[in-house]
Amino acid sequence: MTLLVLILIPLAGALVVGLSPERQAKWIALAWTSLALGAAIFAAFMFDWANPGVIQFSPKNHASGDLTPLLPLVPSLGISISLGADSVSMFLILLTTLLGPLCVLGSFTAITERVKTFYVWLLILQAAMTGVFAARDLILFYVCFEFTLAPMFVLISLYGSTNRRYAAIKFFLYTFTGSMIALAGLVYVAWVYSTIHNGAWSFDIADMQHAALTMSRTEQTWVLFALLAGFAVKVPLFPVHTWLPLAHTEAPTAGSVLLAGVLLKLGTYGIFRFVLPFVPLAVAEYASLIAIISIIGILYAGFICWVQTDVKKLVAYSSVSHLGFCVLGLVALNMVGGAGSVMYMINHGLSTGALFFCIGMMYERYHTRSMNEVGGLARRMPVWSFFMVFFTMASVGLPGLNGFVGEFMALLGTFQSGARTIGAGGTHGPLGPWFAAVAATGMIVAAMYLLYMVGRVVFGPLKEPDHHHAHETLPADLNAREITVLAPLAVLCVVLGVYPSPMLRALEAPVATTIAAAREASSRMAPVPMDSGHAEVALIHDGEASR
Amino acid sequence: MISVMQTIPATLASHAPAAAGAAHAPTAPGDSSAIWLILIPLLPLVSSILCGIYRAWGVTSKLPGYTTVLALAVSFIVTLTGYLSFGGAGVQIVHGFQWLNISWGEAHGQSLTANFSLYIDSLTWLWMLFVTGLATLIALYSTEYMSEDQKNGGYARYFSFFSLFVFAMSCLVMGDNLLLLYLGWEGVGLCSYLLIGYYYTKPAAVAAAKKAFIVNRIGDLGLALGMMLAFVEFGSLEFSEIFARVAEIQATVAAGGHVSWQIEAIPLLLMVGAFGKSAQLPLYVWLPDAMEGPTPVSALIHAATMVTAGVYLIARFLPLFALNPTSLAIVAWVGGLTALLAATIGMSQFDIKRVMAYSTVSQLGYMFLGLGVLTATGAAYHVFTHAFFKATLFLSCGAVMHGFAGQLDLRKLSGLRKLKGWGIVTLAMLVGCLCLAGFPFTSGFFSKDMILAEAFVTQGPGYQALGILALITAGMTAYYSFRVFFRVFCGPVEFHPSDDHHGDSEEEHEAHEDAEGHHGFHPHAPGWAINLVLMVLIVGSLAAAIPYFVDKENHGWVGGLVHDSTAGHLVLPTVAHGAEDAAHGAEAVAHGEGFWSDPHKWMYYVSGTIGFIGIGLAWLIHMTRRTEAATAPIADGLKNAMRPVSTWCERKWYVDEFYDIIFRYPLKILSHLFYLLDQLLVDGLVNFAGAVPRMLGRSLRPSQNGLLQSYAVGMGGGVAVILFIVWILL
């Protein structure tokens, strides 16, 4: 029930905002998103942190331990609304609900026309995103996953910059196509379930996982690529990323923040929730390929960042680069990499979200994002500059701030994974030190482009556009409202950077469950024992037999 | 914050060579309680936060400065008390709180543990004593030096970063695991970045700051990978665990076993980090540019403390380096060559601060040479003496800069010792130069000789040649340091104020120019804070020689500290010394009979003579026949005679330009190509793919213009069909 409330609050908020007068819209939206945040914090308190790997907030059948659906929609097809969260979902829900009120607060002066529509769609977007993380059955997951597109499409196409129509359509079509293919893969898994269970249907994630594990290696490979088609576009991974810089650049600030902060995580969350546990054999086989793609993305996008003049585009491309680390950690198939990757999802949401806020605040004052036109703002906006440098440092992965934890762990996980000596700290896995060594050069590239950005926008001689006039309502530097938007993010960056231990402990159980099968498969692929081939054959054989 | 305290008494077998096969771990656990040691890093952190708050409140008094001085002074007192209480008591591990903790099993090596805990042994004490001590003095100096920036808020910002630096430095030195060391390592890099870029409106300062951070990151990459490899090999990042494992390996090696190549690779990776942070070839290029920061920052961070972090890292892991003689040889050669190269550049620079910067690079090279030839004592002692005399030199330069409106060109300053109020500065400069030049019986003399002598006796690839190079470098050092002294402080009185003032406020600049005019410029002599600090440092620089005579058995007080630390027990995988502790073996050879067989003895005379020659040349070239600041006939004549070489030296051997050509420009071009590729090819294909269903839709069903549907259904449906067919076929 708790999770349902978390989805319903923003929906109800959307309704209320829709019915309220235009002028009060922002305050009502703020109230409802704050309410959702309060509810999420309450849910976090209710969450049993002693068992973070157990799916919670789900009406539990204590006799069998099965999760029963909340609302059976089409029982004959096994379609239902069932919700539940483990710690990974919980953290992502908290991130989503935290960014909600901040986005509303950050849009107070930026959105001046069609205000109501804006907040209605923003609230709907939040509900959809919460739904993705809380869903325990495939249909609900997929509906929410796709439904995030519509609000985002509206936000970009109505409130974006000059090229917004093109960006919005491209964003929609690109990600929609990808997720259609992913749906095909998921439906295929459901089909497998139905074949095993004599025509009975279920879309419950746990049920489907059992079914998926019976698939042969070839089937798994097909499903892997189908799923990746959807999730890789969303992440986005290297060759399918081109919608992102465009969408980010054109989107309004709140849209960019949610896009970078949460929507990209739908991709990595999808990989975490579906790809790793569903198709372990294929993952073990293709992990190194996915890792190579991620590493190419890290460096390729990083270098592209370095030659940007549009500061928003720079940060957008930096997301492509950063999320490469995230996927890399996931396919390392070990605890450090997996937990680091989940940390990365949260941390990237905080620091890059905050960077987009900062850029939005600059844009509101100067109406330009070009580093050729503005520069040296430290002199004009010291408070803003402080936050800008701070979040840049978090993004660059400075130890002591949050970005470092995820980045270091993702890299260490990669390094450990399949280390030549399975010695003291090495683990079985598909990657190895060379992957980590190449990926780690991304740390240097990140320093290059982020300091290049800060060096031009924040430091150096003051440069303002010629046509620049002071904003009618905004002061030269940040006002109290804007500081309120950035301060919580900054505090969280420090807290998660200095004391991530509790969170890491809470990630142990779900990460272990998620990667178990793939890791097992990977260690059996290791060329050490002679009978490894037999083991695989046996597993596939078992799979066929049980069908 | 749960705190448990353990003391690990040193069970170091002092000089007794380790019996074959019997590994003695340098440490063993014991108990004590001294949680108050956590104040050493904590106080600077608190001070940094307070100064940040002052900045936000717009405090314009000297409060931030005094807060910092107080916090650092107390931190120093705590360090001193700690040293006096536990200095000889082995390793202290003070547990703070959990930082990164995750586990994936119960067995050893199946958990990642990195806490905010302190690992304090004698090496740590050595470093912390001079770090906190000098930081206090330099903060006091800064209260006066930075006073011009009180109005615009730079003052509080400066001290906030300054304190943060001391915090990061103490994490680096005191951390009980590699990850906390890495935090400090990157933290000092951040503070260095922020402080080099302190005058952020100056493009040169911003560029220098960026360069420092990025070049350091290249080194950090090595350190990070070394850390990961160490974790994979040792199963832990904590020093106590790592050194226990190292001791096991040492035992195997002593018994004639082999070292795996993975273990051998760890020092090779760690040293890259050390080369970056300590400005060694090929990563030294950031340090000279770092002089764009305020001079006290150059004194503290870029001369006395931060740049010695690399020396600390290698000294800390010297047992690991000793297991791979190749790594030692690389360290020695890189150090020796860096010393030489930097000295050649230092001889030809005209900006006195740059001269000092290159001399820092050069002296750091000596320290690495010392580590490479396994005299960690010599290296650490040189770190110690260098910290004092180089801080003295920089702060003297700072006083000149402060008094002469940013003038640092030695062609535009002359005869300062004859000006009223500049006596202490002159004396400080003289003492600093004497120490740097290795003038007999100064502190620099003793510490440098230790390294030089050891280079001649240690066996290694071309170490004798390296020793001769180092001797030549010593002569150059004497020359260029006294070149500065003779030109700036002796000779006819003459001075021209600088065109660009070091302040970042334009109004200030104008005000200065009004006051200056062209003839009416009056230099302002340093005030009490600067003079006081300089006096303390003069005494400190000279007194740094005293530890050499204490504890003679261990080659001085510093030697005793090094010997009690993790660097004290080395096992080299060489056949020559068999199971015997090779470091001591080498020394035994060194201390043979007779005068010539003990290089520590004859080196005094040789290096002393070379120092005299260098100073004499400087006198000849830069004092005699010099009638005004800019003209020194002999110097100019020499310069013309040695035309290509002198130009190359002056232009810093074009190393920056070389790096630009082979790294920066190609990468920039590559980046542009990537961006072009991204827009045209990667995105172009997508747009093409997007256009196909649209065109199909147009041609097949002209009536339908629904873009979304046709595209999505076309693509998604098609793939679903393919998958279905595949499934049927299977």
> HSE on the CB side for A481, CA within 13 Å?
15
Q: Which positions in chain B touch A172 (Cβ < 8 Å)?
A: 708
Range B566-571 average pLDDT: 81
Q: Which residue, B148, B176, B204, sits at the end of a domain? A: B176
- Both tokens assigned to B216: 């350091």
Give the residue ranges of chain A where pLDDT is below 70. 1, 59-73, 75, 419-423, 526-547
Q: Is residue B507 predicted with pLDDT exceeding 60?
A: no
Minimal-distance CA residue of chain B relative to A176: B712
Q: What is the pLDDT of residue B17?
A: 36
Asked if A358 has any chain B CB less than 8 Å from its own CB, the reply is: no
Nearest CA in chain B to A447: B214
User: Nearest C-alpha of chain A: how many angstroms from B232?
Assistant: 4
pLDDT in tens, B100-146: 889 888 777 788 889 899 998 889 999 999 999 999 999 999 998 88
Q: At a CB cut-off of 8 Å and minimum separation 6, what does B581 contact?
A: B17, B18, B569, B570, B571
Which of B591, B623, B650 is a domain's end point? B650
CB A419 within 8 A of CB B227: no
Asked if B233 and B255 sit in the same domain, the reply is yes
C-alpha to C-alpha distances, A57 to A2, A69, A89, A373, B604, nearest whole angstrom: 6, 11, 11, 51, 78
Instruction: List the 506-535 stretch of A: residues with Cβ below 8 A of B.
Output: 507-508, 512
Last residue of a domain, one of B152, B176, B200: B176
Contact B100 A405 (CB under 8 A): yes
pLDDT given at position B700: 61
Q: Find the CB nearest B210 among A172, A451, A461.
A: A451
pLDDT above 80: residue B520: no
Mark whether B51 and B154 lie in a shared domain.
Answer: yes
For B244, other C-beta atoms within 10 Å of its C-beta total 17
- Ranked by mean pLDDT, which of B408-417, B621-630, B666-675 comes out on top? B666-675
The CA distance from B329 to the nearest CA of chain A, in Å, is 24
A384 reaches B (C-beta below 8 A): no
Residues of B in contact with A508 (CB under 8 A): 102-104
Buried b (16+ CB within 10 A) or exposed e, A87-102: bbbbbbbbbbbbbbbb
Residue A536 pLDDT? 39
* Rounded-to-integer distance, Cα A102 and Cα B450, Å: 62
Q: State residue A348 phi and psi, 5-degree precision.
A: -65, -40
Say whether A176 and B103 touch across the interface (CB within 8 A).
no
Q: Name every chain A residue with its beta carbon within 8 A of the beta carbon of B726.
A: 222
What are the strands, taking DSSP E only, across B328-481?
Answer: 413-414
B185 domain residue, yes or no: yes
In SS3 terms, B252-273 reads as: HHHCCCCCCHHHHHHHHHHHHH
In order of A27, A264, A377, B301, the CA distances from A357 in angstroms are 19, 17, 16, 34
Q: Is residue B302 located within the same domain as residue B251?
A: yes
**Among candidates B104, B116, B203 on the partner chain, residue whose Cβ is nearest the Cβ of A461:** B203
- Residue B713: pLDDT band with limits 50, 70, 90: low
Is residue B79 included in any domain, yes or no? yes
- Chain B residues closer than 8 Å to A334 by CB: 104
Looking at per-residue pLDDT, the higher value among B30 and B454 belongs to B454
Nearest beta carbon to residue A500 from set B100, B231, B726: B100
Secondary structure class of B117 (helix, strand, coil): strand
Chain B (652-691) residues lying within 8 Å, Cβ to Cβ, of chain A: 667-668, 670-672, 674-675, 678, 682-683, 686, 690
Does A433 contact B228 at a Cβ distance shorter than 8 Å? yes
- Mean pLDDT for B447-468 is 86
Contact pairs from chain A to chain B, CB under 8 Å: 213
| Number of domains forming the structure of chain B | 3
B661 with B619, same domain?
Answer: no
pLDDT in tens, B278-314: 999 889 899 988 988 899 999 998 888 999 999 999 9
Lookup: tokens for A537:
């054959």
Percent helix, percent strand, percent coil in chain A, to nearest 5 = 75, 5, 25
Residue with more model confidence, B58 or A438: A438
Percent of chain B having pLDDT more than 70?
84
Residue B612 lies inside a defined structural domain of this protein:
yes
- State whether B101 and A376 contact (CB < 8 Å): no
The pLDDT value recorded for residue B501 is 47
Please give, rounded to a whole number of angstroms, the shortest distance from the CA of B725 to a CA of chain A. Answer: 12
CB nearest to B668's CB, from A176, A307, A376: A307
Which distant-in-sequence residues (6+ apart) come within 8 Å of B17 by Cβ? B579, B580, B581, B584, B585
Q: Nearest C-alpha of chain B: how many angstroms from A67?
A: 27
Interface test with A, best of B674, B687, B707, B713 (most A CBs within 10 A): B674
Asked whether the predicted pLDDT for residue B729 surpasses 70, the reply is no
Coil, strand or helix: which one is A79?
strand
**Residues B224, B169: one domain?**
no
Same domain, B415 and B463: yes
Q: Do B112 and A187 touch (CB under 8 A)?
A: no
Q: What is the pTM of this model?
A: 0.89
Contacts of B674 in chain A (CB under 8 A): 300, 303-304
Are A342 and A349 in contact, with CB atoms under 8 Å apart? no
Which pLDDT tens digit goes with each residue over B406-452? 788 888 888 888 888 888 999 999 999 999 998 888 898 989 888 88
Which residues of chain B lie closer than 8 angstroms to A462, CB-CB? 201
One domain for residues B411 and B549: yes
Tokens of A30: 């703020």
Q: What is the DSSP string of A284-295?
A: HHHHHHHHHHHH
Q: Does residue B23 sit within a domain? A: no
User: Based on the domain organization, do B82 and B141 belong to the same domain?
Assistant: yes
Under the banding of pLDDT at 50, 70 and 90, the label for residue B367 is very high
Average pLDDT, chain B: 82
Q: Where are the domains of chain A?
A: 2-532
B211 and A CB contact within 8 Å: no
pLDDT tens per residue, range B368-393: 999 998 888 889 999 999 999 999 99
Q: Classify B93 in phi/psi space as left (phi over 0), alpha (psi -120 to 50) or beta.
A: beta
* Cβ separation B686–A339 shorter than 8 A: no
Query: How far, in Å, CA of A90 to CA of A47, rounded?
Result: 8
B98's enclosing H/E stretch is strand B91-103
Residue B164 and residue B309 in one domain = no
Range of the domain at B390: 177-500+521-650
Contacts of A460 (CB under 8 A, 6+ apart): A375, A376, B200, B201, B203, B206
Of the residues A223, A298, A386, A408, the best mutation for testing chain B's interface (the one with the most B CB atoms within 10 Å of its CB) is: A408
- Give the per-residue pLDDT at A13: 93
What does the pLDDT read at residue B575?
45
Q: Helical H runs in B108-202?
A: 122-145, 154-174, 178-196
Q: Which of residues 468-497 of A touch B (CB under 8 A)?
A: none
pLDDT one-digit tens code per residue, B1-11 = 333 334 333 33
What is the pLDDT, as a whole number, of residue B2?
37
In B, which residues are within 8 Å of A408 by CB distance? 100, 179, 224
pLDDT of amino acid B730: 58
Residue of B nearest to A300 (CA): B674
Indicate whether B309 and B378 sit together in one domain: yes
CB contact under 8 A, A424 and B213: no
pLDDT of residue B661: 86
> Is residue B13 domain-resident?
no
The answer to whether residue B10 is domain-embedded is no
Q: Which residues of B touch A241 (CB under 8 A)?
A: 682
Q: Which residues contact A307 (CB under 8 A, 6 or more apart)?
A: B668, B671, B672, B675
**B391 and B298 co-located in one domain:** yes
Whether B186 and A306 lie within 8 Å, measured CB to CB = no
Three-state SS annotation for B561-606? HHHHCHHHCCCCCCCCCCCCCHHHHHHHHHCCCCCCCCHHHHHHHH
A200 touches chain B (CB under 8 A): no
Nearest Cβ partner for B674 among A181, A300, A455? A300
Residues B348 and B257 occupy one common structural domain: yes
CA distance B90 to B123: 10
B57 touches chain A (CB under 8 A): no
- Per-residue tokens: B12: 């170091």
Taking the Cβ of residue B210 and every Cβ of chain A, the question of whether any pair is shorter than 8 Å is answered with yes
Question: Looking at chain B from residue 135 to 154, which residues have their Cβ under 8 Å from any Cβ of chain A?
Answer: 153
Q: Does residue B186 belong to the interface with chain A, where contact is any CB pair within 8 Å?
A: yes
